[in-house]
Amino acid sequence: MKKILFIMRTAPYGSAGIAEGVRSALGFATLPFELNIILMDEAVWAFLPNQQPEGIGGNPTWSLFETLTDIDVTLNADSEAINERGLAVQSDMPKFNILNSDEISALIGQADAVLTY
């Protein structure tokens, strides 16, 4: 089974990056892949609590990630990016594995294909 890694690096709002990545991951879930997603750089703003993106016509990233966990996509996030922005993992979020740079390197190294969003 091929291991596919989606790296998301853009902020959750202001561009379609995360939404497009999630859409792709949902499509890939119909095929025999082992899917991982990792939030890096600006994408970790998804951890900010009490987001209300409806006001700008956006979709809450929380619900997107919940959907992904429902279909066995493993969620990961970059601890360094989270700490740099003073963010914290919220208790009501889907489960994320918080990885350091060595663990992220290993995740990328083990992937058969890496798609960036």
Quickly list DSSP for 47-89.
Answer: G-SS--GGGGTPPPHHHHHHHHHHTTPEEEEEHHHHHHTT---
Shortest distance, position 97 Cβ to other proteins, whole Å = 18
Q: Any contact of residue 26 with other proteins (CB under 8 A)?
A: yes
Residue with tokens 């209300």: 52
Q: Please give the Cα distance from 65 to 116 (Å, whole number).
A: 17
Q: Any contact of residue 89 with other proteins (CB under 8 A)?
A: no
- The span of 15-23, 42-50, 59-67, 88-96 binding other proteins (CB under 8 A) equals 15-23
Residues that bind other proteins (CB under 8 A): 2, 4, 7, 10, 15-17, 20, 23-24, 26-28, 30-33, 105, 108-109, 111, 113-117
